[in-house]
Amino acid sequence: MIAVVLVGGEGTRLRPLTLDEPKPVLPIGGVPFVSLLLDRLAAAGVTKVILSCGYLPDRLRAAVVSAPAGIEVEVVVEDEPLGTAGAIRFAAVGRVDGPFLALNGDVLGDADFGALVAAHHAAGAVASIGLTPVDDPTRFGVVVHDAQGNVERFVEKPPNADGLGPAPWWVNAGAYVLDPSVLDLIPADRMVSIEREIFPELVGRGLICVHSDGYWRDIGTLESFLTANADAVAGRVHTRLGGADAAILVDGSARVDADAVLIAPVLIAAGAVVGAGARVGPDTVIGEGATVGPNATVQGSVLLAGAQVAADAHVERSAIGRNALVGERAHVLDSALGTDQAASAGEHLTGERRPA
Ligand code: GDD
Ligand code: MG
């Protein structure tokens, strides 16, 4: 089985974290998200992954050099964004010769892709969409369908829930099985959205959907990125991290002062340092080589590799980018600092997103 994974987006909703790293390279529990996705594809029996890149492809290339055994990864780069369908076409033509998986590269989950593939074959479908239930349909592609899974309407990002039936709404989970004939429906050399142009055209022509269970989260906003990290550490999603509700995961090379307090679920990655009197957790990841100074508190947050939180600082529901600095006594709430950015000593930030 071949999988095309869409990773070309700029991750605008995650800026400034994505100013110099594409979204799929951002860490979940200290591991690049794309590596967790490759784990899952390997488990589903996928042998070849085509990464459909546009934005910062070299960072993606570097992140996938150590793919799981049995998976070959090919990186395909668009000169300019082709949209979700255009990108699938560009990546798949000449590389697939049968039904293939196509995935949004920003969804953390643990549902079995094999079940979607099996349903596709059992129905003799042209295209099959995995679905997940949500409470807010406006951020997703809503898939109205009958009891047999035949798609009746596909509505991308409806302005409201009018006419879409009662909650919960079943939406496109960003995982498809496509027959190669779908590629012929996608115009070449222009931007084409599979959600807005191709799926609506396939309604009544072999487009089916399958409810998938298990954990599901699009990591594309700051809030969901933080929640995904917490869920991975807490084991609410099954990953290689082996998380659990009561997890206090401390790498052997991290140094945690005997007078620091760690509150589960929490993960302290390789080479990280936590000083005396610091309180770290719950729902927190301290990335590789990051430091938390004496008496600082970090909760509901993610420190990326090399980030520093100085003494007496407070970080809550925030992401602190690579080698970024939170100065002494600073308070950072609901904010994101990008690579090398800083909050000065004593500064208070709430809901801050610096453009650069
Ligand atoms: N190669 C390439 N080229 N990739 C792209 C492009 C492009 O032009 N545009 C988007 N992508 C990639 C993004 O990197 C991301 O992995 C995926 O396609 C989806 O794009 P998002 O920008 O994250 O879309 P969304 O989250 O607003 O909506 C999509 O995902 C929802 C589920 O999370 C839609 O597919 C919805 O229907 C769906 O419900
Ligand atoms: Mg998304």
Cα torsion at 111, 112, 116, 118 (round to 10°)? -150
Domain boundary among the residues 184, 218, 252 is at 218
Burial of 329 by CB count in 10 Å (0-12 exposed, 13-18 middle, 19+ buried)?
middle
Backbone angles phi, psi at 101, to 5 degrees: -85, 140
Answer yes or no: do 107 and 209 share one domain.
Answer: yes
Q: How far apart are CA 33 and CA 40, in angstroms?
A: 11
C-beta of 9 in contact with ligand 1 (< 6 A): yes
Answer yes or no: do 169 and 295 share one domain.
Answer: no
Q: Per the domain annotation, does 225 fall within a domain? A: no
DSSP string, 196-249: IIIHHHHTTTTEEEEE--S-EEE--SHHHHHHHHHHHHHTSS--TT---TT-EE
Nearest atom within ligand 1 for CA of residue 139: 27
Structural domains counted in the chain: 2
Q: Is 355 a residue whose pLDDT tops 80?
A: no
Domain boundary among the residues 218, 253, 268 is at 218
Q: Per the domain annotation, does 23 fall within a domain? A: yes
Task: State how far Cα 25 lies from the chain centre.
Answer: 9
Q: Is 189 a residue whose pLDDT tops 90?
A: no
Nearest ligand (C-alpha, residue 33): 1
Nearest ligand (C-alpha, residue 90): 1
How many Å lie between the centroid of ligand 1 and the Cα of residue 6?
7
Please name the residue whose Cα sits nearest to atom 31 of ligand 1. Answer: 140
Q: Per the domain annotation, does 273 fall within a domain? A: yes
What does the DSSP 8-state code read for residue 296?
Answer: -
Q: Is 289 a residue whose pLDDT tops 80?
A: yes
Answer yes or no: do 200 and 260 share one domain.
Answer: no
pLDDT (average), residues 16-42 = 96
Contact 46, 103 (CB under 8 A): no
pTM, to two decimals? 0.95
Six token digits for residue 306: 């090399």
Answer yes or no: do 287 and 169 share one domain.
Answer: no
Nearest atom within ligand 1 for CA of residue 220: 23
Answer yes or no: do 134 and 187 share one domain.
Answer: yes
Return all residues near 254 (Cβ < 8 A) that are at least 6 apart: 268, 269, 270, 271, 272, 273, 274, 286
| Coil vs helix vs strand at 138 | helix
The model's pLDDT over 297-334, given as tens digits with 9 standing for 90+, comes to 999 999 999 999 999 999 999 999 999 999 999 999 99
Listed as own residue / partner, the contacts of 59-63 with beta carbons closer than 8 Å and 24 or more positions apart are 59/20, 59/21, 59/22, 59/25, 60/7, 60/22, 60/24, 60/25, 60/34, 63/24, 63/25, 63/32, 63/34, 63/35
The model's pLDDT over 32-88, given as tens digits with 9 standing for 90+, comes to 999 999 999 999 999 999 999 999 999 999 988 887 888 999 999 999 999 999 999
C-beta of 107 in contact with ligand 1 (< 6 A): yes
Backbone angles phi, psi at 230, to 5 degrees: -60, -40
How many Å lie between the centroid of ligand 1 and the Cα of residue 352?
25
Six token digits for residue 119: 């349903």
Answer yes or no: do 12 and 118 share one domain.
Answer: yes
C-beta of 220 in contact with ligand 1 (< 6 A): yes
Distances (CA, A) of 120 to 42, 342, 351, 354: 19, 49, 43, 44
The model's pLDDT over 159-179, given as tens digits with 9 standing for 90+, comes to 999 989 888 999 999 999 999
Q: Per the domain annotation, does 267 fall within a domain? A: yes
Give the CATH number of the domain where residue 293 resides.
Answer: 2.160.10.10
Answer yes or no: do 177 and 257 share one domain.
Answer: no
Give the CATH number of the domain where residue 44 resides.
Answer: 3.90.550.10
Pairing relationship of beta strands 266-268 and 248-250 according to DSSP bridges: parallel
Answer yes or no: do 151 and 289 share one domain.
Answer: no
Q: How far apart are CA 318 and CA 46, in angstroms?
A: 35
Answer yes or no: do 273 and 124 share one domain.
Answer: no
Answer yes or no: do 158 and 20 share one domain.
Answer: yes
User: Which of 143, 232, 212, 178 lies closest to 50, judged by CA?
Assistant: 178
The predicted structure's pLDDT at residue 34:
96
Answer yes or no: do 84 and 165 share one domain.
Answer: yes
Please name the residue whose Cα sits nearest to atom 37 of ligand 1. Answer: 141
Query: Position 41: which residue type?
Result: L
Q: Per the domain annotation, does 176 fall within a domain? A: yes
Backbone angles phi, psi at 84, to 5 degrees: -65, -40
Q: How far apart are CA 337 and CA 287, in angstroms?
A: 14
Task: State how far Cα 354 lies from the chain centre.
Answer: 22
Q: Per the domain annotation, does 237 fall within a domain? A: no
How many Å lie between the centroid of ligand 1 and the Cα of residue 11?
9
pLDDT (average), residues 150-160 = 96
Nearest ligand (C-alpha, residue 77): 1
Mean pLDDT of the chain: 96
How many Å lie between the centroid of ligand 1 and the Cα of residue 293?
38
Domain boundary among the residues 202, 218, 234 is at 218
The model's pLDDT over 219-270, given as tens digits with 9 standing for 90+, comes to 999 999 999 999 999 999 999 999 989 999 999 999 999 999 999 999 999 9
Nearest atom within ligand 1 for CA of residue 195: 37
Q: Per the domain annotation, does 234 fall within a domain? A: no
Answer yes or no: do 265 and 125 share one domain.
Answer: no
The model's pLDDT over 108-124, given as tens digits with 9 standing for 90+, comes to 999 889 999 999 999 99
Q: Per the domain annotation, does 125 fall within a domain? A: yes
Query: Residue 200 belongs to what domain range?
Result: 2-218
Please name the residue whose Cα sits nearest to atom 11 of ligand 1. Answer: 9
Backbone angles phi, psi at 236, to 5 degrees: -75, -20
